[in-house]
Structure 1
Amino acid sequence: MSTPRSSTPGAHGPRGPLRPSRAHAVTVAGMVVVAAVIDLIELVVFGYTAGWLVVTLVSAVALVASVALRRRRPATALAVAALGYAGAWVITLSEPRLLPAMAQAALWVAVFTAIAEGTSRLRVTAIAMLGACVAMEAFDVIRMTDAGGVGTELLIYDTVSVSFLPVVVVAVAETVRGRIRLATEQAEQADRLRQLDARAAVRDERLRLARELHDVVANRLSAVTIRITAAHHVGKAGGSTPEGEVLAEIGHEIGKALGELRSVLGTLRDDEDGAGAATPPSLRDVDLLAEEARRAGAQVDIVISGDPYPLPSMVDLASYRIVQEALTNVARHAFPPHATVRLDYGMDHLCVRIEDDGVLQPGARSASSGHGIIGIGERAALCGGWASAGPRPGGGWTVEAALPVKKDDS
């Protein structure tokens, strides 16, 4: 299963947001400090008026807001920086001075973050907005040059700040964006490799279990079946006897167990698409389960409530195994072995309830001490349901499970 890519290139990886590098933070901090120092020096050297203090204050607010919002809301930071820049520019039309450096820095910080970490659309918007602001300041420089209010040094400074520095900001931001994107792709590739390794480990473990089951359990059962079949044929030569019938019944049960074991082996060895897997048992065969329990000496009644409908494969198999385990316990442990299987097909759930009114046979272990009852609870939990098993107040034992059903998943 591949990890979906984020809609924000470079902003998010498979494990969440990628933190910017320390160089990114240092760059932003450097722009803020340099801009503040330049404006402070300008106020000390050239003095100030009430209007210019307003311009400086608007620029400082825009700078603080762009720095504070640049990570969480880069689009908002860009809008605030642009509005502050435009407001400061309008006010400076009545002042024979250059735009404060903090107004420029606010825009550069917002543009830098939008290009480095933003979406493709936000990146284009930031570049276009920076271009518009450069055009505005170029107009301001031309206006002041025509008015004769700009010296050579200030003209050189403003030319550099208008044309050269925005290009540097865009170039550095594009470099950072490329590095973040490369780091994101590397993290995603590493995550995909980890997933592939995990799948390979699961498949290897399944194959190992399949080999063990085949080499140990299946071969032993096959050997037992051969011997029982041979004993049955030898017994038939002397006529039909009760012992021969019992041997035939045992051989039949072992043959069915081998069939189910081969089905499990096929499932373990199959690819993920499940092609070639044997058909798993179904709750539709509950009558066969009851018949097997009757052959083992138990008395079984089946009560079905509601209209039976096709069950999802996982619920179908889980409910079958729950009934199978409960009836096996009844035949082995209950005395007398009498059970009632109740299947309630609800609108959004299947309720399975197996009750017996017997007592524990002398010398038999309680069913709650085995792995079967634990398996019942685990199967129900895998389906999103629950299961319980315990003694009844009036004697006997009850196994109950409720499994959620989504009919469109069947």
Structure 2
Amino acid sequence: MGASAGRRSAVLMGAVALLLAGCVGGDEEPRGGSDGGDGVFRLGYVLPETGQLASQGPAQIESVRLAVKEINDAGGVLGQPIPEVTASDEGGNAGVAARSADRVLASGVDAVIGAAASDMSLAIIDTVTGSGVVQCSGSNTAATFTDYPDNGLYFRTAPSDALQATVLSKVIVADGEQRVAVVARGDDYGRGLLKSITKELKDTGIPVVLGETYEPGSEDFDRVARKVREVNPDAAVVVAFDEGAAVLRAMIEAGVGPRDINVYGTDGLRGARLASEVSPDDPGVLAGLKGTAPATGNGEYTARLRAFAPEVRESQFAPQVFDCVTIVALAVEATQSDDPIVFATAINEVTANGERCTSFADCKRLLDRGTNIDYDGESGPLDFVEEGEPGRALFDVYTYDASGALRTVRTEEGSATN
């Protein structure tokens, strides 16, 4: 079926052999779904109900539920409906995320969706994949995961920050910037983007005159803003999560806000409420800020999600989470097994080098006829590479207008060959 999973398949076949050996001579049963499968595909998630990414939680959680509904409406997986999803909160805290993963695994799931934050996935990936369970994140973008030793069981539909950096750098270059400062969270997400953006800009001859990180739990960003002002840049990039509003306020007060220099952001600064969070009395203070983020789709998915869950306001990473659930379910169908060690070998393959299909129902019909499939998801073409992540992806270029409203300017493709 489709492209070979290469190294990951070799790792997984080795895991199958070890599993069989354990079944013959071992007394300890692994947790989770690595028990050969029982014909029922069980799913859980570790996603932000509280914590620093809580604003993104509803869209991701409801996307899991919407995907499950549409799969079950199409006949389910292996002829059985997916049971109620086991839910747990990543909480923006490594300890909370780890305990949540333990609870989800204890329920006997075959796959875990999440976590949302890269740092939270790093807190649970060894436990999840070490238990022989598949993990798929729709929003982990840190480059760390590309070659992480995950037993071939970790996947992501969110593109690596290395791809986002190529698109953002093109935007900055096209705007004619000459001296760029970069301010970033001091975690895998922030440091990874700082490194990738710096490399991309330097490769085009644009110097990065400041690369400054801050502790993720910081509340005072005056020092960071002063450092930006001191290097006298004509542009600044801010890599942040929810604390981005406080970072921007400090930059504005220091005279290096969007009205003073060109300011750019990444996916963490894309939010309908950001301008009012920065300045409730003057949301237009963000006018002109530009950024890039993994595409939220063509609008049809967002409308479908909001019809399903009217309370959802933000849609960042929602289509990517929907695609996570869908490709894992399609891999189970492709292998006719709910054993994670088995169906993980088909996850890459259902996203490339087959007949194009765009829904679980349509793809399943092709699989039932013995046809190789290429699932193009709600987030765009996936075309997974050997490492279990998109080899190319669509990114929205966004901006804030004079009223502080978030607008999507255009969509561009980023790829490893750009």
Task: Give TM-score scaled by structure 1 length.
Answer: 0.25
Task: Give TM-score scaled by structure 2 length.
Answer: 0.25
**Higher relative strand content:** 2
User: Looking at both structures, which has the greater relative contact order when contacts are Cα pairs under 8 Å and sequence separation is at least 6?
Assistant: 2
**Higher relative helix content:** 1
